Amino acid sequence: MKIISFSSGKGGVGKTSITSNVALGLAQLGKKVLILDGDLGMANVDIFFGVHPKKNINDLLLGTPLHECLTSVAQNIDLLAGGNGVYELSHMNAFQRREVISRLESVNYQYDYLIIDTAPGLHDHVLHLNAVADDCHIILTPDPSSFADSYALIKVLQQKYKTQKFSIICNQVKDEQQGASLFLRFADVVQQFLSVRIRYKGSIPYDVNLKISNQHQRLILRQDPKSISTSAIKVICAEIESQNKTTGAGQANVKGLDMLFRPVSGHA
């Protein structure tokens, strides 16, 4: 089970929408996906899928078996809800965080992906959930505060948890060219000051259809399968699956954006 986290330095960058749509996109590729809504106490992945979970992480910590805490939200997708308005979840201690991950590892061979939607910011539970991921995705937008906060998140994860690899998704950009340019500017700053590797996973252009879909808390892959944002998300899903298949095969040579930050045939 490949563990993927989606995080951001600040709220309002479209993180939960991307997490939910990527999960659906991977499921449409025939993959079995388990979502952990790690925005503890303020969870809303279930809303995007239009379901009402009867159990959440709090029930798991109180001793309810994991399979009873999972909610089927779509074909090939199960959800461990984070609970909304549950005060105790926003103050989980280190032991409880490790217990949740340990319980999830018990279903390691039943899913292809565990996708974690974290809360924004630098809280301990956010850092821990990103640290256990095989691939930590940071959602970056052209907003200067997003740029600064994403850098801060990477810096803290590198210093506190020794996380070395990050993937960047540029959201709310004009087009792919602006997204690639934004990534290169961010990469230049990160690699100048931090000893980490960052990878470009792609961009999602500003799309009024996606904005409307998010406002109604619906999935754009369902709402408008032919939209430009749907196409962009499917490219990212294909990129995730391609990287998963080639993990461990080595690194590409440093030659331009595609070869430096995207996988090429036969390389990770």
Mean pLDDT of 183-210: 95
Stretch 129-137: mean pLDDT, rounded? 95
pLDDT over threshold 50, residue 252 = no
CB of 139 closer than 8 Å to CB of 13: yes
For 22, the 3-state DSSP assignment is: helix
Task: Tell me, yes or no, whether 45 lies in a domain.
Answer: yes
Q: Which residues contact 30 (CB under 8 A, 6 or more apart)?
A: 76
Q: Is residue 154 part of a domain?
A: yes
pLDDT band at 40 (very low <50, low <70, confident <90, very high): confident
Asked if residue 267 belongs to a domain, the reply is no
| Within-domain flag for 235 | yes
* Share above pLDDT 90 across residues of the chain, in percent, rounded to a whole number: 74
Q: How many domains does the chain have?
A: 1
Give pLDDT, residue 232: 97
CATH code for the domain of 226? 3.40.50.300
C-alpha 21 chain-centroid distance: 10
Q: Locate tokens 């280190």: which residue?
A: 94
Q: Is residue 63 part of a domain?
A: yes
Q: Which domain holds residue 193?
A: 2-261
- Identify any residues that bridge with 34 across adjacent strands, giving them in sequence order: 78, 114
What's residue 258's pLDDT? 35
Residue 221: which residues within 8 A CB-CB, separation 6 or more?
A: 21, 24, 25, 28, 230, 233, 234
CA dist 33 and 79 (Å) reads 9
Asked if residue 108 belongs to a domain, the reply is yes
Helices (H), the chain: 15-28, 45-49, 57-61, 66-69, 94-105, 124-131, 144-161, 176-193, 208-215, 220-223, 228-246, 256-261
If you write DSSP's letter for every residue of 160-204 in order, what string do you get?
A: HH---EEEEEEEEESSHHHHHHHHHHHHHHHHHH---EEEEEEEE
Task: For residue 40, give the nearest of 103, 104, 106, 124 by alpha carbon.
Answer: 124
Percent of the chain exceeding pLDDT 70 equals 90
For residue 248, is pLDDT > 60?
no
Q: Which helix (H) or strand (E) holds 12?
A: none
Q: Read off the pLDDT of each residue in 192-215 and give the average, rounded to a whole number.
A: 95
Evaluate if pTM is beyond 0.75. Answer: yes
Tell me the C-alpha to C-alpha distance, in Å, between residue 31 and each of 69, 75, 219, 244: 21, 10, 18, 12
